[in-house]
């Protein structure tokens, strides 16, 4: 589906989907357009919801309380279905995203489609075929690889730090293309006080620029500043 929707309602069955999937869920939903409603259903008095609680504010999701009246029975189904039907008849939403791996939402997805609305399902590989086929589209999510996730976060930090340094050299370089290293780092600290050289894998600024001969040139003991170190972009 390439067209962007103007109003999307995202309804999450917290008792049937792990909080570890939330980042992937958010990234996938964002591809479809503007999310107007984010609701998540579960018994928030339960210890099982602890992982979700820590993420609700970060992702601006509204928790809907549904007490578990029967041990071992998913209590969120009815609450999610009732809310979905209320939102459906408001006629403001052109897309519904149902996040669950539970076949109990099969009829809900079919009913929403009957009203001419687009239904996106998101769930694990174990999701029954009946629910998958009831949606216009279904996105299967895999358990996140923790090591891969940490590697990606480290790479993102590294890229941001490198981009900041590169921009600073471009902005501060004189007509000959050189900038004094001490001046460069003073500027960096003003722009980003929490700038951490360890994110670049070095302890000193000079160590980084010396190791990146593919991008930078280093000049020491220049006649006009014998004790200074200068940096320029490699040509």
Give per-residue pLDDT as tens, 79-112: 899 999 999 998 789 999 999 998 899 999 999 9
**Same domain (yes/no): 199, 163:** yes
39 lies in the same domain as 75: yes
What pLDDT digit, counting tens, does each position of 193-211 carry? 667 777 788 878 898 999 9
Claim to verify: residue 33 and residue 134 sit in the same structural domain: yes
**Cα separation values, 216 from 157, 178, 209, 210, Å:** 20, 10, 6, 8
Q: pLDDT digits over 26-58, tens only?
A: 877 877 878 889 999 988 888 888 888 888 888
* CA 172 – CA 195 distance, rounded (Å): 18
Claim to verify: residue 160 and residue 222 sit in the same structural domain: yes
pLDDT value of residue 69: 59
Element (H, E) at 147: helix 146-172
Structural domain tally of the chain?
Answer: 2
Same domain? For 112 and 82 the reply is yes
pLDDT of residue 72: 47
pLDDT value at position 148? Answer: 46
Interior/surface letters 175-186, b for 16+ CB within 10 angstroms, e for the rest: eeebbbbeebbe
Structure tokens at 119: 């239904």
Q: Label residue 127 exposed, middle or buried (CB < 10 Å: 0-12, 13-18, 19+).
A: buried
On whether both 119 and 28 belong to a single domain, the answer is yes
Asked if residues 12 and 61 have their Cβ atoms less than 8 Å apart, the reply is: yes
**How far, in Å, CA of 1 to CA of 186, rounded?**
48
Please say which residue of 140, 165, 187 terminates a domain: 140
Name the pairing type of β-strands 137-140 and 178-180: unpaired
Tell which wins on pLDDT, 68 or 17.
17
Output the DSSP codes for 89-145.
Answer: HHT--SEEEEE---GGGHHHHHHHHHTT-EEEEEE-TTS-HHHHHHSSEEEE-----
DSSP conformation class of 161: H
Domain containing 179 — which CATH number? 3.30.420.610
DSSP 175-206: TTSEEEHHHHHHHHHHH-TT--GGGGT-SSHH
Q: Is the dihedral of CA 178, 180, 185, 187 positive or negative?
A: negative
Is residue 208 located within the same domain as residue 92?
no
The reply to whether 27 and 130 lie within a common domain is yes
pLDDT digits (tens, 9 = 90+) for 107-165: 999 999 999 999 999 998 889 999 999 999 898 887 655 544 544 554 455 577 888 89
Residue 122, pLDDT score: 94
3 state SS of 58: coil
Q: Are residues 24 and 106 in the same domain?
A: yes
Same domain flag for 45 and 119: yes
pLDDT tens for each residue of 11-26: 999 988 888 888 788 8
Average pLDDT value over all residues in the chain: 83
Domain containing 20 equals 5-140
């Amino acid at each position: 589906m390439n067209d962007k929707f103007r109003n999307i309602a995202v309804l999450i069955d917290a008792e049937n989907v792990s909080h570890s999937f939330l980042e992937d869920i958010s990234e996938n939903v964002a591809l479809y357009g503007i999310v107007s409603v984010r609701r998540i259903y579960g018994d928030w008095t339960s210890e099982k919801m602890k992982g979700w609680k820590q993420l609700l504010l970060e992702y601006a999701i509204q928790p809907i309380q549904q007490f578990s009246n029967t041990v071992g029975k998913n209590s969120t189904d009815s609450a999610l279905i009732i809310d979905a039907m209320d939102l459906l008849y408001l006629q403001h939403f052109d897309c519904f995203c149902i996040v669950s791996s539970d076949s109990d939402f099969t009829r809900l997805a079919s009913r929403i489609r009957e009203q001419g609305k687009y239904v996106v399902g998101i769930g694990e590989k174990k999701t029954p075929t009946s629910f998958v086929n009831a949606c216009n589209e279904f996105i299967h999510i895999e358990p996140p690889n923790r090591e891969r996730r940490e590697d990606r976060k480290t790479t993102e930090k590294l890229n941001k730090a490198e981009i900041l340094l590169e921009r600073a050299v471009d902005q501060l370089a004189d007509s000959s293309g050189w900038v004094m290293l001490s001046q460069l780092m003073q500027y960096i600290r003003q722009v980003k006080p929490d700038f951490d050289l360890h994110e670049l894998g070095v302890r000193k600024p000079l160590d980084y620029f010396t190791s990146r001969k593919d991008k930078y040139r280093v000049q020491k003991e220049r006649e006009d500043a014998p004790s200074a170190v200068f940096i320029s972009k490699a040509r």
